[in-house]
Amino acid sequence: MLAMALALGCAVASNAQRWALKTNLLYDALLSPTVSLEAGLAPKWTLELSGTLNAWTVNGHRWKQWMVQPEARYWFCRRFSGHFVGVHAIGGQYNFGNLKNDIKFLGTDFSVLTDRRMQGWMAGAGVAYGYSWILSRHWNLEAELGFGWIYTRSDEFRCADCGKRLRTGVSHNYVGPTKAAVNLIYTF
């Protein structure tokens, strides 16, 4: 058992933590503060609920959103340490516009946000893989990448702050990364 735990990169010490409070440093760097709470359900199962809010307009560029992302996780070792896989859902609303760019990614053309504003909602689901490193008794660092599908429905406007509505009920299906995280974690 000890050899198998070491081969998987599992922590050998006992892990009595039942809760984890986290922040995603990647999203925080993009001015989209994220707070997550994760609860231990069983020795190898946890349930996480993340919330993200970006309510800023900076230099006329609008990137406002809120999002919730619940995720059930199975840990290969014991909860809050080592490898894990998860399944997550995604839901939220957004208001994006006046973002000058030439980005086209996996069938989504973000360059339309240069002179357009999109306001709507999103929902989807995905799967994820991650790894959590124990730094000390209460602190961990975790990396995670998720892949899945997001459906959006929005209204399209001519400019970021004003303008005539151009289209209503524009739908879009996105398939690609749905989660990217480098989480700083406090376990208790």
Q: What CATH number does the domain containing 142 carry? A: 2.40.160
User: Are residues 128 and 88 in contact, defined by beta-carbon separation less than 8 angstroms?
Assistant: yes
User: What is the C-alpha separation between 79 and 86, in angstroms, rounded?
Assistant: 12
**102 domain residue, yes or no:** yes
Higher pLDDT, 22 or 1: 22
User: What is the C-alpha separation between 45 and 12, in angstroms, rounded?
Assistant: 18
What is the band of 113 on the pLDDT scale with cuts at 50, 70, 90? confident
List beta partners, residue 126.
88, 148
Output the six-digit token pair for 129.
């893989």
Confidence check: pLDDT of 108 > 80: no
Contacts of residue 3, defined as CB under 8 A and 6 or more positions apart, other chains included, come to none
**155 domain residue, yes or no:** yes
The count of structural domains within the chain is 1
Range of the domain at 62: 18-187
**11 domain residue, yes or no:** no
Taking phi first (over 0 means left), then psi (-120 to 50 degrees means alpha), and beta for anything else, what does residue 147 get?
A: beta
Higher pLDDT, 100 or 3: 100
**177 domain residue, yes or no:** yes
**50 domain residue, yes or no:** yes
pTM for the model stands at: 0.83
Across 108-113, average pLDDT: 76
Q: What is the pLDDT of residues 58-71, one digit of tens each?
A: 666 667 899 999 99
pLDDT of 13 reads 45
Round to the nearest angstrom and report the end-to-end CA distance of the chain: 26
User: Are residues 108 and 177 in contact, defined by beta-carbon separation less than 8 angstroms?
Assistant: no
Q: Poorest-confidence range of 11-20, 86-95, 166-175?
A: 11-20
- C-alpha distances (whole Å) from 137 to each of 12, 13, 43, 153 are 13, 10, 17, 44
What is the band of 112 on the pLDDT scale with cuts at 50, 70, 90? confident
**13 domain residue, yes or no:** no
- Letter string b/e over residues 124-138, b meaning 16 or more CB atoms within 10 A of that residue's CB: bbbebebebebeeee
Across 104-112, average pLDDT: 76
**4 domain residue, yes or no:** no
List beta partners, residue 142.
132, 183
**74 domain residue, yes or no:** yes
Confidence check: pLDDT of 104 > 90: no
CA 16, 18, 23, 24 dihedral sign is positive
